[in-house]
Structure 1
Amino acid sequence: MEIHWAYFAGFGSPFTLATFFAPNFLSKGLFAVFFPVFLLLSITSDPPEIPISSEYKLPLFRQSRWLSLQLLRRVSQISGVKQTKRQQPTKK
């Protein structure tokens, strides 16, 4: 999601706007009609491949990732489980 953020924003924006500005009963009907259509469109779409680089990446989950790692480190220290470093994938 951090890499393909523009695709997710473009996919979700029309759907959100259609249901947000409509009255409650009508928005539920729009949701029931549009959700399967948008789901099928997202399954059949083929977004262009872009090179993974930091200039296209939007770090949405940086804080939650950091917090989760800190929590796991604390649990690891308390439980006595040894940590292993994750190996970086090699580039071909």
Structure 2
Amino acid sequence: MNLIQNTLRAALFLILAFFGMIMALIFMASTALAIGVLYIVARLQGRPFGVKAYWEERRRPPSPPQPGHWPGPAGKSRKQDVVDIEMREIP
């Protein structure tokens, strides 16, 4: 009886390990595919692809918005600050 239980446990463990390895391979393949797509897009746009270029781009201060783009329609800026809630006293 003990031998049957140990055999079933080992078989279940091997099945779970096999499916875990398959999921890990799928994850690694999808990650490699995504990195490949990012590399191709960066090359087509003429930008370097790498960690150093990414951090240099992130450390640069953001450029000011261009007229005709956000914020708001026709480049008009908002007059009021954005707040989470506005509180009013109800009589």
Shorter-chain TM-score range: under 0.3
Over alpha carbons, which structure has the higher Rg? Answer: 2
Bigger relative contact order, structure 1 or 2, given CA contacts below 8 A and separation 6+?
Answer: 1
When the two structures are superposed, what TM-score results if normalisation uses the length of structure 2?
0.28
